[in-house]
Amino acid sequence: MMKTLVITPIQEEIDFFLQGCAEQGVQAEMLTLGRLPMVHFPALNLWVAQGGLGKTQFAVQTQYLLDTCPDVGLVICAGAAGALAGHLAIGDVVVGTGSVEHDIHNHFGTPLVPRFPANQSVITTFEQMKRVDPSFHVYFGAIASGDEDVVDVARGQAISKLTGALAVAWEGAGGARACRFSGVPFVEIRGITDNADHSAAADFAVNLRCALRNVAHLIIAWAGQNKRSYEKGRP
């Protein structure tokens, strides 16, 4: 069974993600992989590490982890996001069908909006899951990616029109680029903390724990299901 590597951008996100994992009662062990600390959930073959803030740092540390950690079968970028779609509520989770880079401001030729589709077989396994927790909904769609705090309704609408994304965050395209380079499947999963408007900064701080808790509950449930399916299929 190949390893699943969950990478979260910033320290607060990984702290709240791990708290959410602890609520599920899965046993964890701390270790260090090269220069980076990691948390390992042996029962689920799940590994968790921090990727850093912004697309570039996240790509660098994702590539380092892929080069250092053997037999990674999937990378999940797990973190928070602002909602671009009106039907998303605080605490809902978006499983990204793709990560779309929105902040390349080229002026020579047509706009560049790179798209990085998620691994479809992984998306299908999430789609087929029963509802994990009645307190939040899971949606599927693109996630916009760019090194920009979106704190203005008009800016959010512009990104939505450009990308067709349900939510907006920072690091996904960086992780997707590293995984494409290394030939490793990738998916971005984000919990909604705000509505990408003038109150986004305050809402992010208040809602981060809830959002990452929900992301953790979904991933732990998925990993458990994935492990059972693997064991059932073994000769």
Per-residue pLDDT of 18-34, as tens digits, reads 999 999 999 999 999 88
Nearest Cα neighbor of 80 from 158, 5, 2, 169 is: 169
Residue 235 has pLDDT above 60, yes or no: no
Q: Average pLDDT of 103-125?
A: 92
Distance of CA 51 to the CA centre of its chain: 11
Residue 53 has pLDDT above 80, yes or no: yes
Residue 141 has pLDDT above 70, yes or no: yes
Percent of the chain with pLDDT over 70: 97
Q: Average pLDDT of 209-228?
A: 93
Provide the pLDDT for residue 233. 64
Residue 139 has pLDDT above 60, yes or no: yes
Q: Average pLDDT of 39-55?
A: 96
Percent of the chain with pLDDT over 90: 87
CB 69 within 8 A of CB 40: no
Residue 148 has pLDDT above 80, yes or no: yes
Residue 1 has pLDDT above 80, yes or no: no
Provide the pLDDT for residue 230. 63
- pLDDT band for position 232 (cuts 50, 70, 90): low
Residue 105 has pLDDT above 60, yes or no: yes
Q: Average pLDDT of 13-20?
A: 96
228 vs 87, 95, 104, 122, CA distance in Å? 33, 21, 42, 15
Provide the pLDDT for residue 234. 55
- pLDDT band for position 93 (cuts 50, 70, 90): very high
Residue 222 has pLDDT above 60, yes or no: yes
Q: Average pLDDT of 41-65?
A: 96
CB 214 within 8 A of CB 78: no
Residue 202 has pLDDT above 60, yes or no: yes
Provide the pLDDT for residue 229. 72
CB 126 within 8 A of CB 138: yes
Angle at 174 between CA 87 and CA 74, to 5 degrees: 80
Provide the pLDDT for residue 13. 97
Indicate whether this model's pTM tops 0.75. Answer: yes
Domains and CATH numbers, the chain: 3-233 (3.40.50.1580)
Mean of all residue pLDDT scores within the chain: 94
| Other beta carbons within 10 Å of 16 | 23
Half-sphere exposure of 24 (CA within 13 A, CB side): 24
**Residues for the chain: how many in total?**
235
Side chain identity, residue 168: V
Residue 228 has pLDDT above 90, yes or no: no
